[in-house]
Copies of this chain bind each other. A is one copy, B any other.
């Protein structure tokens, strides 16, 4: 049911110097499938991440945050699919640490130098013995295989690369992501890992990962549910030979950020395109607001509304549901008589009601497209925000009613 989702192609994915990838089959949920990924990093790297805001954040999230905060040199990331190790209390933390310890022994580093990640069913104990038993049997893998190894309900692997030059030096960015449901910002059951051979100091990388996330992974929603496990990690290996970016005012910062945002948006949109049961890909753009925050509130109110999303599924230009969502977005001083609502290039509402020139067949034509842009112009400021989402279909209900069976 994915919408214009182009599966990642192996030949389009460039290796990143300083990063080795391995996969293994641990039989966590299903026997014989790749469900374990190791991202090994050469020394001299920097790593930064953003994590779920969910209070029930999973054990691996707690451990990864602690290891990052310890300030040690990170040497590996280890990701399992099939089990989220979330809602597992003290035993869950011990299990996540046991995975770090086993991999650290294999690699000859300290457990604190390993970051663990998990995705899958929550509230089930992590089958830690199967994971630690499978780690020695890991084999070298491509980025495409890495993307495959972290899939859950995804219908296709999600990966991409960018090439750029920083002061004449060739730089590579390659990333992978997973996620198809429970998608909402801050963040979703999504994992994203982007590595570059550019050189960035840790404090600058900390700022960069937040700025990139806000414009990509924190601007999507499938069902409004925020997961316990979301993590987006940015890795800088420094192997390209490009100058060290040691400040957000460094001339290369904006160039690198633009390329990272471009790739992160592609990966974030791929998650929405693969949204559980999705038949439409919807861009919600809110312009002319007083602040980015109010634009994002309105965009998310539209993007989260089950009534709006079922209308998109039905290709029904039920524009009133769009107006209702704008109205309850929580912008308390919004003057609804001043805003304009567009479906692609069709002006459907203005002056507090339907555009007199609007014809149902124009709305119908846009609604039948697989890709639709909803645009709201608030006419009260210069701020904008864009959010990506998908429609709500029978298939969404089927997938989520059957997920564990």
* A interface residues (Cβ-Cβ under 8 A, vs B): 53-57, 84, 86-92, 121-124, 181-182, 184, 186, 223-228, 304-307, 310-311, 313-314, 316, 318-321, 323-329, 331-332, 334, 336-337, 349, 351-354, 392-394, 396-398, 400-405
Contact = CB atoms under 8 A, between A and B. Distances in A.
23 contacts: A55-B331, A56-B326, A56-B327, A87-B319, A88-B352, A89-B351, A123-B318, A123-B319, A182-B307, A182-B324, A186-B328, A223-B307, A225-B305, A225-B306, A306-B306, A306-B392, A306-B400, A307-B400, A310-B396, A314-B400, A314-B401, A316-B403, A394-B397
Given A181-B307, A336-B56, A320 B121 contact: yes
Contacts of A184: 328
Contacts of A55: 326-329, 331-332, 334, 336
A178 to B, nearest CB: 17
B306 A224 contact: yes
Contacts of A332: 55
B337 A89 contact: yes
A305 B337 CA distance: 32
Given A323-B87, A328-B55, A311 B400 contact: yes
A397 B313 contact: yes
B310 A225 contact: no
Number of copies: 2
B394 A324 contact: no
B324 A223 contact: no
B306 A223 contact: yes
A348 to B, nearest CB: 9
Contacts of A86: 320, 323-324
Contacts of A305: 223-225
A309 B91 CA distance: 28
A123 B306 contact: no
A400 B56 CA distance: 33
A228 B318 contact: no
Nearest to A225: B307
Given A393-B397, A398-B394, A324 B122 contact: yes
Given A55-B334, A336-B56, A352 B89 contact: yes
Nearest to A121: B320
A226 B314 CA distance: 21
A326 B186 CA distance: 15
A316 B87 contact: no
Nearest to A305: B225
Q: Which of A306, A311, A334, A405 has the most CB of B within 10 A?
A: A306
